[in-house]
Amino acid sequence: MNEEAHIKPTSKLSKIWIIPFLVIIVGGWLIWYQWNNQGPMITIEMKSAAGIDVNKTPIKVRDLNIGQVKKIELKQDLEGVIVHARIDKGAAYLLTDKTQFWVVAPRISFSEVSGLNTLLSGAYIAMSAHDEGIETYHFIAQERPPVTPQGTPGLHLSLKSDDELAYKAGDPIIYKGFKVGEFEDSSFNIEERVVYYDAFIRAPYHKLITQNTRFWNVSGVKLNLESSGVKVETGSLETLLANGITFGIPEGVNSGEQITGNAFFTIYEDQTAAINARFKLAAEYLLLIDETVRGLKVGAPVEYRGIEIGEVRSINAGNVVEGSILEQDFPIPVVISIYPGKVRQDDSEIGLNLVKQTMQKWIAQDLRASLRMGNVLTGGLFVDLKHIKDHKPIPLETINGFDVIPTVSNEFTQLTQKADAILDKINQLPLDKLVGDIGTVITDLSEAAASVKTTADNFDTLVTEIDAEQLNGNLNEVLDDMSTLLQNYTEGGLSKSEIQETMDSLQDTLRSIQPLILQLNQKPNGLIFATGNEADIQPKAQKSGAN
């Protein structure tokens, strides 16, 4: 029996296709989820791509990964590279115009040592966390890490300096030996030829910055040879290795109001310049110096009765007095400034006019200026204003708008002039004749010395030849006879014959020494000067005894 086959149509969609459909759905969901949750792509301009690798170099905020480098390409102008990086969606709100990027790598300098941890892990791109500003996705990386992290409490300042010394980012700001801030950035204004700096003072030291605060340089060691002596200035150990500044309020000035926002200050050369900067007004006067100005410098003090009241403004300025130093008797012009604030007057027009009126009256009477040496070691000079008595009043002279203060010679110059006069008198003496006469005297003295030596030798010979023993014996006999005579006289007197015999004995004794007495009578110096080889006179009288 034949049975017919029943043919059933198969399903158009195989069950096996369920798996691919599920894969597509899951994959699409993952793609959508990834696309929906991924952060924005940003571009960062850098000088070079040293240490940066695609899909390896992370982007960090406070050591937390919030992105990764995805692509690096060269800029069209060949001035650097452009780094494309993906930032996590959770950190996208930090991408503002105030956000900064920089490469963290090992860095060693005088002011810091940083990035040593990247020696093993490799360099990475750091990002500052700042949620204020306008949203942006294109950035220019900083060449070095910012000195002050974003959000650090303190005060930002703007400083300027026209000194030859330049400060770099990271150089310290010192106050009484403590580091209270740092330089952040610098720029040079070509038109003004002035360097401008951005600086930051950390809290709570920012409260020290007031309207009357002054900044000055304390870099390295300064050795100044001033009129007052040798002055050595130095800051902290850190400023010996790197440049640095300090600040303070000049003595006698009130603190003023505290600075709360961005402020502008000038960096002065030293503390003296910073203190003098508070004096805005000054009366200028002209000195015509006939002497040398060696040792006088711009900035040298001007004193009155030992008190500094001003400073030297210029020396031999070409626009002050007509003429040239090549002309004979040309006075060297020196311009000085006198500050009302240094003579206990207000630093205002009223105080300035009072100073001018007083100076005009004094100049017409007896006020004079002189250059004096402040220190023998350095040879530095300063201007001394003093009243000279017994000087006739002179009319006030004005040259090119400057009142002229008459000058007088200082004590050193007067001593020099007296010394020159004495030397001139010495030069007029007949020194050649005096030298000849002195030579003759020296020759005579030499001959006299030789004669004295010969005389001394002859005297020694004469003394040696004298028979001292015989002379002593004769003198003893005379003394014995005198003693016998006196004894007889004491016992009752002597007879005529006894006295006669005694006298005869005395005469015999005198005859024995008569040759010597004759020699002394004829030549008193015979005992000193030799008389040749003559034989000594010997006494020949016979000695007679006493009865």
At 531 the pLDDT is 54
The helix (run of H) or strand (run of E) holding residue 115 is none
| Alpha-carbon gap, residue 499 to 510, rounded angstroms | 16
The span from the CA of 222 to the CA of 468, in Å, is: 88
Alpha-helical segments (H) within 346-410? 349-365
Which H helix or E strand runs over 543?
A: none
pLDDT score, position 139 = 92
Cβ-proximal residues to 55 (8 Å cutoff; 6+ apart), any chain: 68, 69, 70
Residue 185, H or E segment: strand 178-189
Centroid of chain to Cα 60: 49
The pair of structure tokens assigned to 327 is 């002309």
| pLDDT in the model for residue 320 | 82
Instruction: Compute CA distances 256 → 205, 213, 344, 532, whole Å.
Output: 16, 8, 20, 111
Give the pTM: 0.53
CA distance 125 to 67: 9
Q: How far is residue 147 from each of residues 142, 156, 249, measured CA to CA in Å?
A: 11, 12, 26
Q: Which of 129, 107, 127, 128 is nearest to 117 (CA)?
A: 107
Backbone angles phi, psi at 342, to 5 degrees: -90, -5
Pairing status of strand 178-189 against strand 221-226: unpaired
pLDDT, position 170: 80
Stretches in the chain below the pLDDT threshold 70: 1-15, 36, 107-120, 165, 220-242, 376-378, 391, 410-429, 431-432, 434, 459-472, 485-499, 516-517, 519-547
- State the pLDDT at residue 358: 92
35 three-state secondary structure: helix
Residue 134 burial by Cβ neighbours in a 10 Å radius (0-12, 13-18, 19+): exposed
Instruction: Kindly report whether the peptide bond that precedes residue 58 is cis, defined as omega within 30 degrees of 0.
Output: no
DSSP for 234-257? E--HHHHHS--EEEE--TTS---P
Cβ–Cβ under 8 Å, residues 288 and 400: no
Token pair of 423, please? Answer: 């030397």
Q: What's phi and psi for 70, nearest 5 deg?
A: -110, -25
Q: What pLDDT, in 10s, does the model give residues 212-245?
A: 899 988 875 555 555 555 555 555 555 555 678 8
pLDDT computed for residue 466 by the predictor: 58
* pLDDT at residue number 302: 92
> Could you tell me the strand order of the sheet in which 41-46 lies?
101-104, 124-127, 58-61, 64-74, 81-87, 41-46, 138-140
Read off φ and ψ for residue 168, nearest 5 degrees.
-115, 165
Q: Decide: 196 and 158 in contact? Cβ < 8 Å.
A: yes
Q: For strand 124-127 and strand 58-61, is the pairing parallel, antiparallel, or unpaired?
A: parallel
User: Of 92, 101, 147, whose CA–CA distance to 127 is shortest?
Assistant: 101
Q: Report how far residue 21's alpha carbon sits from residue 31's, in angstroms, rounded to the nearest whole number.
A: 15
